[in-house]
Amino acid sequence: MVTNASAQTSVQKKTSATPKIVNIVNFIRLLEPRDAAITQDVLYQTVVKQVDIMKKYKLGGTFLLQYDALMDSRYQKLLKTLPAGSFEIGGWWEIPQPLVEKAGLKWRGRYPWDWHADIGFSTGYDQKEREKLIDVYFADFKQIFGYYPKSVGSWFIDSYSLNYMYDKYGIIASSNCKDQYGTDGYTLWGGYWNQAYYPSRTNSYMPAQHAEKQLPVPIFRMLGSDPIRQYDTGLESSRQGVITLEPVYKFGGGDSTWVNWFIKSLVDDVALGFNYTQAGQENSFTWDAMAKGFEIQMPLIAKLRNEGKVKVETLVESGRWFKKTYKVTPPTSYTVAKDLPGSELKTAWFNSRYYRVNFLWEKEGLRIRDIHLFDEDLPSIYHTQAATSNECQFFTLPLMDGYIWSKRNQIAGLRLKAIINGKEVRLTGGQPIFTNTSAGSMHISWPLANVKGKFEIDLNEKDLKMKLVSAKNYDWYFDMTTAAGAKLPFQNIADKKISCSFENMSYSVKAIQGTFSAPGDGVVVRMKPQANTLSFDLSDIK
């Protein structure tokens, strides 16, 4: 018999070759109109300090330039001194006044840089205007640096612009914001969680399922999102909070306990495919605000780099590796087996080109917090139309949404339950063990406490399968509950099929093994096993 300790050791040996990639990405704006104390010189000196600390620890990275900073001689001179073998210069795709006017368009902003989605981002312009903006930026970038940028990042870039940048200029990699709801007016919700994906040609937020419909530019998820807390922060508010690796945050990237926990999990916890995070910060926050976090993070990243535990790469290097390694978006996972001191929470995120799912182990038991489905045929409205609002929204197809469907005292989720001694209880247990069973499959084994046995979960890029392994047969199931009044996508809940509609798209989930019902009494959906197994094909949603 193999003990748990031995099994965990073998898992670590098996996953030790899994790449753990860190991109240090700092993006540069020329000005910050929201605070008069943040002058152009303050912003420039922030970048000087970033360069200094990266050089001190011999860390390479990526600097992405907004157009107004691109055209500033001080930034040109500073960045041209960086060794090309370690540093990359690319584009930061926010749209300031000088770029708009050089493209022959009228500036509509309140300031020379306006962060509203219909002004400061390409979503605010029609397709021909986007082409003009891109042509001006790429031509001026090449005149200054002698080549076209290979990486272009932003909080979000519309799919038409990304297509144009790739088809005409051959960009290799891109990046967008972590998942967030309403922060700064930007919602990206339900997408490929962390790592990177190939987007649909008509929807830059939606992973494509087939090579012929994907844009072959990997999009890396930015900011190093807290895999446990970020999801739930800000319930019942219109704006999510931020718990990330960004060095300006006192709880997050500016806190040594949090940083050491986050990086340890990135490096040591089991990951399928590869694990990834983005460090760095935009200069708008200023050096005084980010210095502490940088001084915590950079020596730690350098130490792990020296020990061979992480690969520190530029964004374009990671993009080239991804394109060489994956022809379509791969299955990946991000797991946390041990939380911050004082917390017993554990989590596992699993992504593929078809779906994402999140499991959260709480003191009370297992809760499936999130399931979102991906469909390359759902176009983004911004592919063909200009945004008319100062906010932007990108979504995928929800089956379980533990954030939007929750309130502070009514937390949505699929909770694992069983009938024990005639009573319904939540199943509780010990430490889940995460194992990579193949290049594209993940296994979770959770030893149970209030019944004899273990709960086992198997995931691959198409299927989710769950069963209770025990010498005794138990009546177990998952119950979905949501906050009262939550707007749900369910149109019909039949024995073997849940039919849904969201963003004018119909989709469904079918049970391979198991049944669905809507028992009421606060339970929206009940999922029961057949032959002790629940199994779904999440790739077949038409």
What integer pLDDT is reported at residue 330 of this predicted model?
A: 97
For residue 197, the model assigns a pLDDT of 98
Distances in whole angstroms, Cα of residue 393 to Cα of each of 235, 378, 494, 540: 18, 14, 31, 25
Question: Which sign does the torsion angle of CA 4, 7, 13, 17 carry?
Answer: negative
Q: In this structure, what are the phi and psi dihedrals at residue 75, rounded to the nearest 5 degrees?
A: -70, -40
pLDDT at 10 > cutoff 50? no
Residue 130 scores a pLDDT above 90: yes
In angstroms, the Cα distances linking 304 to 233, 264, 318 are 30, 10, 18
Q: How confident is the model at residue 17 (pLDDT cuts 50, 70, 90)?
A: confident
| DSSP codes of every residue in 182-236 | SGGGEEEESS--SSEEPEETTEEEEEPSSGGGB-SS-EEEPS-B-TTTGGGTTTT
- Contacts for 408 with CB less than 8 Å, ≥ 6 apart: 235, 236
Neighbours of 486 (CB within 10 A): 15
Q: Any idea which of 3-12, 171-180, 489-498 has the lowest mean pLDDT?
A: 3-12
- Residue 79, pLDDT > 60, answer yes
Digit-coded pLDDT (tens) for 395-446? 999 999 999 999 989 999 999 999 999 999 999 999 999 999 988 999 999 9
Report the distance separating Cα 243 and Cα 224, nearest Å.
9
Bridge partners of 534, per DSSP, are 466
* 156-160, 263-267, 390-394: segment of lowest average pLDDT: 390-394
Distance (Å, whole) CA 379 – CA 356: 19
Measured CA to CA, the distance from residue 300 to residue 306 in angstroms comes to 10
Question: What is the per-residue pLDDT for 95?
Answer: 98
The predicted structure's pLDDT at residue 103: 98
Q: Both ends of the chain: CA-CA distance in Å?
A: 44
What is the pTM for the complete model shown? 0.94
**pLDDT value of residue 471:** 77
Whole-number Å distance between alpha carbons of 243 and 256: 14
Residue 4 has pLDDT above 60, yes or no: no
Q: What is the mean pLDDT of residues 17-40?
A: 95
pLDDT of residue 6: 33
d(CA 537, CA 315): 34
According to DSSP, the β-strands at 203-207 and 219-221 are: unpaired
pLDDT attached to residue 318: 98
pLDDT band at 7 (very low <50, low <70, confident <90, very high): very low
Q: Is residue 16's pLDDT more than 60? A: no
Other Cβ atoms within 10 Å of 471 Cβ, number? 6
Q: How confident is the model at residue 239 (pLDDT cuts 50, 70, 90)?
A: confident
> How much is the average pLDDT of 370-378?
97
Asked if residue 276 has pLDDT above 70, the reply is yes
- Number of Cβ within 10 Å of residue 132's Cβ equals 16
Q: What is the distance between the alpha carbons of residues 293 and 87, in angstroms, rounded to a whole number?
A: 21
The answer on pLDDT for 119 being more than 70 is yes
- What are the pLDDT digits (tens) for 336-366? 999 999 999 999 999 999 999 999 999 999 9
- What does the pLDDT read at residue 235? 83
Nearest to 6, CA basis, from 335, 346, 433 = 433
The answer to whether 54 and 314 are in contact (CB under 8 A) is: no
Instruction: Please tell me the distance from the alpha carbon of residue 102 to that of residue 109, in angstroms, as a whole number.
Output: 15
> Which among 162, 210, 206, 168 has a CA at the least distance from the CA of 188?
206
Residue 3, pLDDT score: 34
pLDDT at 11 over 70: no
Over its C-alpha atoms, the chain yields an Rg (Å, rounded) of: 23
Percentage with pLDDT > 90 across the chain = 91
pLDDT of 185-198, one tens digit each? 899 999 999 999 99
In the block, tokens 């995120």 appear at 349
Q: What is the pLDDT of residue 15?
A: 33
- Would you list the domain boundaries of the chain? 18-325
Residues 373, 173: Cα–Cα separation, whole Å: 24
Task: Write the CATH number of the domain with boundaries 18-325.
Answer: 3.20.20.510
* Residue-level pLDDT at 236: 72
Band of pLDDT at residue 13, cut at 50, 70 and 90: very low
Mean pLDDT of the chain: 94
- What is the three-class DSSP state of 131? helix
